[in-house]
Amino acid sequence: DQKIKELLERLEKIFRDVTGAVGLLWNTSSVRARFENAGFISKEDCVKFGIVGVAARACGVELDVRRNHPYGQYCFSQIPISTYPSGNVFARAYVRWLEIKRSVEFLKEILTSVPSEPIKVKLPAGLRKNSIAVSLIEGWRGEICHTVITNNDGKIAHYKIVDPSFHNWTGLELAMRNQQISDFPLCNKSFNLSYCGYDL
C-alpha cells in the first residue's frame, strides 16, 4: 500500500535526523558530565514513592503497562522494556533514546504486517449499568489510568483520568534533594511533567 510505504519512508528519515541529534548529545563531554551528575533517584525511592514510566525505568525498575497489563497489539508482540540503572538525568534521557529506537523497530514490524481488509469492531449498544471499568495504557510519560463508573441508567456518573505526572512530581522533588537551584531546569525537563495532567 502506498500510504504505508510513504509512512515508512518518513519514519526512516525522521529516525536518521533524531539519531544525528542524539549522537551530538552523547558525544559532547560537558553535556554527559552535566547529565550524569544531576537529578539522582534511588531504585528504592522509585518503588517506595510509586514513580512510573520513563522515570521508573531510568532507575532500573521494569515497570511498563504494555508488558505488565498488555492490551491490543501488545498481547501479540511486545517492545522490550528499556531500562538504565543510574537514576539520574542521563538515565532518563538514555531510556527515552532506547524507547525511540525500539518504537521505530516496532512500528516497522507492525506497518509491514497490516491486514489489507478493513478492521471492524462491533460496539455494544450501551454501557453496562452500575458498573466500574478501569483501563491502563502506557503513554509517553508513563502509566495513564482511566476509570469510569455508570449509574442505574447505564449513563456515565463519574470519569477520572490519572496522568503519570500525578505520580512523578514526587520524583522531581526527590531528584532535587542536595542539588543546586541551577539544576532545577535540567531536572524538571528530564521528567517532562504535565502541570494540567497533575490536576486531572
Q: Is residue 104 included in any domain, yes or no?
A: yes
Q: What pLDDT score was predicted for residue 200?
A: 62
Cell numbers standing for residue 9:
519512508
Where residue 113 falls among pLDDT bands split at 50, 70, 90? confident
**CA–CA gap between residue 141 and residue 74 (Å, rounded):** 18
**10: domain range?**
2-122+165-199
Where residue 121 falls among pLDDT bands split at 50, 70, 90? confident
Q: Are 50 and 167 in contact (CB under 8 A)?
A: yes
Strand order in the sheet with 132-138: 132-138, 143-150, 156-162
Q: What pLDDT score was predicted for residue 20?
A: 97
Domain of residue 98, CATH code: 1.10.645.10
Q: Is residue 184 included in any domain, yes or no?
A: yes
Q: Are 18 and 100 in contact (CB under 8 A)?
A: yes
Q: Is residue 145 included in any domain, yes or no?
A: no
Q: What pLDDT score was predicted for residue 142?
A: 96
Overall number of domains in the chain: 1
Q: Is residue 49 included in any domain, yes or no?
A: yes
Q: Is residue 151 included in any domain, yes or no?
A: no
Q: Is residue 146 included in any domain, yes or no?
A: no
Q: Is residue 155 included in any domain, yes or no?
A: no
Q: Are 176 and 187 in contact (CB under 8 A)?
A: yes
Q: Are 142 and 53 in contact (CB under 8 A)?
A: yes
Q: Give the mean model confidence (pLDDT) for residues 135-151.
A: 96
Q: Is residue 160 included in any domain, yes or no?
A: no
Q: Give the mean model confidence (pLDDT) for residues 45-67.
A: 97
> CA dihedral in degrees (43, 49, 55, 56; nearest 10)?
50
Taking CA atoms, 18 is separated from 13, 36, 150, in Å, by 9, 21, 44
